[in-house]
Amino acid sequence: MTDAPGHPPSPRPPPTPATQRVLVVDDEPAVGAAIARLLRPTPVIFAQSATGALGRIDAGGRFAAILCDLHMPGMDGMGFFDAVVARAPGLARRIVFVTASASSRELDELLRRTGCRCLEKPFQGADLRAVVAEVSAREDG
């Protein structure tokens, strides 16, 4: 659909449920279940490893937000971020790191380098929903 010359562009259609999906990457299934409860009715896709999440992205998965634990066995959150940048740079803007140890110089540098947000476990549902809404509203870049 195109807009007539001289008329303001049509507003973007509201996001469809598929574009509002949230990907949760965490080695602890209980964390994924808790996030799914807190974000209900938003669809939450859970991956228990970074490589599992990358498989979903490689298969064409698109997500409004990606919540990724920083400390996981195998590939950690930073490795996941770098892999997403290489595969789907627009999705990298949608990553929110989740960690139980949020105060460190290393974390501060990571957030500065990536431009990502961070949620410290345990977090409140309102804080989670606000961060997801914020990154979901970002334009793909």
Mutual angle of helices 125-136 and 29-39, in 10-degree steps: 80
Q: How far apart are the first and last CA of the chain?
A: 22
Which residue bears the tokens 């807009």? 3
| Tokens read off for 126 | 């309102």
- pTM exceeds 0.85: no
| Tokens read off for 113 | 């380098």
DSSP codes, 100-122: S----HHHHHHHHHH--EEEESS
Q: Digits of tens for pLDDT over the chain (141 positions)?
A: 444 455 454 444 444 444 589 999 999 999 999 999 999 999 999 999 999 999 999 999 999 999 999 999 999 999 999 999 999 999 999 999 998 876 678 788 888 989 999 998 889 999 999 999 999 998 765
Q: From CA 15, how far away is CA 134, in angstroms rounded?
A: 14
**What are the structural domains, with CATH classification, of the chain?**
17-136 (3.40.50.2300)
Beta strands in 20-78 (DSSP E): 22-25, 44-47, 65-69
Q: From CA 141, how far away is CA 92, in angstroms rounded?
A: 9
Residue 14 has what pLDDT? Answer: 43
Q: From CA 105, how far away is CA 31, in angstroms rounded?
A: 25
Label residue 1 exposed, middle or buried (CB < 10 Å: 0-12, 13-18, 19+).
exposed
